[in-house]
Chain A
Amino acid sequence: MLTYWARRAIAFGLAGTVLVPGVPAYAGGGNVPLPRPPCTPRTCEVGVELPGVPGSGGPGTGDGNGGSSSEPSPCTYEMVSPTEGTVGGVGGQPDGPGAWYWKVCSANGVSTSELVRLPSPPVVTPEQLAQRARERITLPSVQVRVNPAGTTLVNLPTWLAMTGGWDPQSATASVPGLSATVTARPTRAVWTVGDGSTVTCTGPGTLYQPGVHHPRAESRTCGYTYRRSSAGMPGEAFRVSVTVSWQVAWSGGGQNGTFDGMTTSGFTLLRVEESQTVIR
């Protein structure tokens, strides 16, 4: 036989109450939830969600959207492994595939926590968040600066350098409670000098400065000396191109890793003439 309480509860569609920290004493006026003062993390950690708080899980809040929306998710999910006893204590494990998550939602300075079972990670893992940050990274374009520029001579050291293409780039993406930073660092520049050779350098090269560097000196960081002229090439010039490889690393949520590398490139045309024709 049902008690009076139970009958009333069923009439209300209720199985019981939930602990709602910060709920003021009910002051009449029907079932309208009253405005609630912010609860402290201490009270909010008692496993509840605050009703009526925008973004704490209602429709259209972007809850668990996994990052496809531009709206940041108000909740973070950490995959956890509760014991069988704990699972029983929170109502048991539903049938079907899934995993347990510690769900923390923040909105308007209010944080709530809950242990939830979800069929799949609905959410932003640190790596996914980092992937979002990676998409925001724009690598600087490469401006090739070779010296001598335009025309050089066989056997004369050519300085290979670039400007603006060697600055590390980083971007951060965040949702409440979690952020991930991606940093792209240039690691090497592979120059294809046009005569079939390649030169690999570990920096942007040194810009040749007249009056500072000797005209016949080799670049200490990145250079090449042509042994044949570019005669017969299209435009009588070699196409000098450089490809910069970037290592992309991420960190966030106590984890870190790397993504596939990125590259940038640039080129210039360089005419290489036989030096003896000039010397003569």
Chain B
Amino acid sequence: MGVRMRGFRAVAGLVLLGVLVSGCADDVEPRALPSASSQAASPPVSPSATTSTAREIAERDALASYRGLMQAWVDAAKVANPDHPALRRYAQGEALKIFVTALFGNQLHKKVVLGEMGTDPKVVGAVPIDGPTSVKIADCLDDTRWLEHKKSGGLWDNKPGGRRHTTALVTKTKAGWKVTDIVMQEYGSC
């Protein structure tokens, strides 16, 4: 039961992210999530200079939190530490659960991830327009040079890694901007 609900949530979540990008209001039909390239266009610029600044600040801060989370993930995965403090600084809710779970699995299996992860995040949406509290970020995570290793040494397997289209929602909280949701697609999706 829970699985199907989660599936619904996941798919609906993608729809919602699409809605967020489009900036449309209510009664939006479910629609295709725009491709990364079409999302890459800058959001509409508000005519007001002050709101534009607020928007720029929000996007900058959201992007910084996203980057911070990716760095925290790399740092935590290097030592398979699900309790890495920086994860909590930059993520909460479902997103934090995803990373903590993954890292706990690595810790359990004595698996570490070494190398450099490729990341190139871009803001692809922000609402409300004149003072965003939710920012959507698209990325193409590349782990071809960030590979799983046995803690005791040596590669975990012979899987080459790859590039995954990734979408994250960053939300303004009392404790700053935090990644609250993240969806990674299959290898080769970007």
Contact = CB atoms under 8 A, between A and B. Distances in A.
Partners in one complex: yes
Interface of A: 3-5, 8-9, 12, 14-31, 33-34, 37, 39-40, 42-43, 45-53, 56-59, 78, 80, 82-83, 85-86, 89-91, 102, 113-115
A57 B181 CA distance: 23
B9 A26 contact: no
A3 B23 CA distance: 13
B3 A49 contact: yes
A16 B87 CA distance: 18
Contact of A19 (B31, B105, B106, B182): B182
Contact of B10 (A28, A51, A82, A115): A51
Contact of A46 (B31, B134, B181, B184): B184
B94 A37 contact: no
B31 to A, nearest CB: 6
Interface residues of B, number: 61
Contacts of B114: none
Nearest to B35: A25
B83 interface: yes
A86 B159 contact: no
B16 A82 contact: no
Given A31-B12, A59-B1, A5 B100 contact: no
A115 B97 CA distance: 9
Q: Which residue, of A5, A12, A52, A58, has the highest number of chain B Cβ atoms within 10 A? A: A5
Given A22-B186, A27-B32, A89-B96, A17 B10 contact: yes
Contact of B97 (A23, A27, A47): A47
The 6 closest A-B pairs by CB, nearest first: A51-B7, A17-B13, A47-B101, A89-B100, A85-B83, A16-B94
B30 A31 contact: yes
